[in-house]
Amino acid sequence: MAIQLDKINYSYSVGSAYEVHALRDINLTIEDGQFIGIIGHTGSGKSTLIQHMNGLIRATSGNIYYNGEDIYAQDYDMRSLRSKVGLVFQYPEHQLFETTIFDDVCYGPKNQGLSKDEAGLRAFEALKSVGLKEELYYQSPFDLSGGQKRRVAIAGVLAMRPEVLILDEPTAGLDPKGRDEILALISKMHKERKITIILVSHSMEDVAEYVERIIVMNHGQVMFDDVPHEVFRHYKELEKISLAAPQVTYLMHELREKGLPVDVNATTIEEAKSEIMKVLGKKTC
């Protein structure tokens, strides 16, 4: 049951001339262990939404429950929620600040109240799982490449052993190789650790390959919330809000329009390949 949002509304700068109604009547249940993509164009409310999930932003109205407990209850331990629901911000490398990579990753667990040794063990484990070479651990985080810095930032959150990991645009600004590596890493963490992952992106291509559920945000509202192929079925509506479906969706529709009776629900290149080969009566290699 993990996280439940019940009629969440949020406005920035309430009462001022700059008031923005950023979230409107959001009802969502994030189940344990799911791998979810949150998609939407700029300003649709993605970052505002996820910051509600770990209590960083408090809703203007509505309720949020974590494992059934009301996070807005007076005696609720918000600090512990922040370590159970780990949030990796957009451009997290801007928040690296310690002199060594290792110290930086220790910061979260130390803040949780763990001893120096325990925090060190957690940091070691987290850095290992993001695939950073050991010889780099005691170097400055500022000398790393963009992709490596992002791994360190992810390790910093993983070291707190969160139950839910939320990543806000983790591939923004990376080259295609860096992007693929980070997405593969996130997918591996989901498979191995079985933690709930929420991946915010404005690229369908990025999420189509990995997630099992897509939440599409538009003007502060949930427009679609379904398995990828159901969401991509609405590709014409997605285009209207400047979101394209993955190229595979277009290809399959085009093939079908041209008379090849393929199932248009393939969402990844692999699925498309085996569907086309099946229809053509050929075996995939």
Closest CA to 130 of 95, 98, 104: 104
Binders of Mg ion among residues 5 to 64 (CB under 5 A) are: 46-47
Task: Tell me the per-residue interface mask from 173 to 202 with ligand ATP, x by CB under 6 A, - otherwise.
Answer: -----------------------------x
Q: Near ligand ATP by CB under 6 A, which window of 39-47, 75-83, 103-111, 254-262?
A: 39-47
Q: What distance in Å separates the CA atoms of residue 255 and residue 212, rounded to the nearest whole number?
A: 25
DSSP string, 25-59: EEEEEE-TT-EEEEE--TTSSHHHHHHHHTTSS--
Shortest separation between residue 178's beta carbon and ligand ATP, angstroms: 19
* Residue closer to ligand ATP, measured from CB, 16 or 74: 16
Gap between the Cα atoms of 264 and 260, Å rounded: 10
Residue from the set 40, 162, 170, 228 that interacts with ligand ATP by CB under 6 A: 40
Of residues 219 through 278, those in contact with ligand ATP by CB under 6 A are: none
The rounded distance, in Å, linking the Cα atoms of 11 and 138 is 43
Q: Which is nearer to ligand ATP, 202 or 213 (CB)?
A: 202
Straight-line distance from the first to the last Cα atom of the chain, in angstroms, rounded to the nearest whole number = 40
Q: For 232-252, give the secondary structure using H, E and C.
A: HCCHHHHHHCCCCCCHHHHHH
Is 40 or 246 the residue whose CB approaches ligand ATP more closely?
A: 40
Of Mg ion, ligand ATP, none, which one does residue 157 interact with (CB within 5 to 8 Å by kind)?
none
Q: Which of 2, 3, 5, 22 binds ligand ATP (CB under 6 A)?
A: 22
**By CB under 6 A, how many residues form the interface with ligand ATP?**
13
Residues facing residue 226 across a β-bridge:
214
Residues that bind Mg ion (CB under 5 A): 46-47
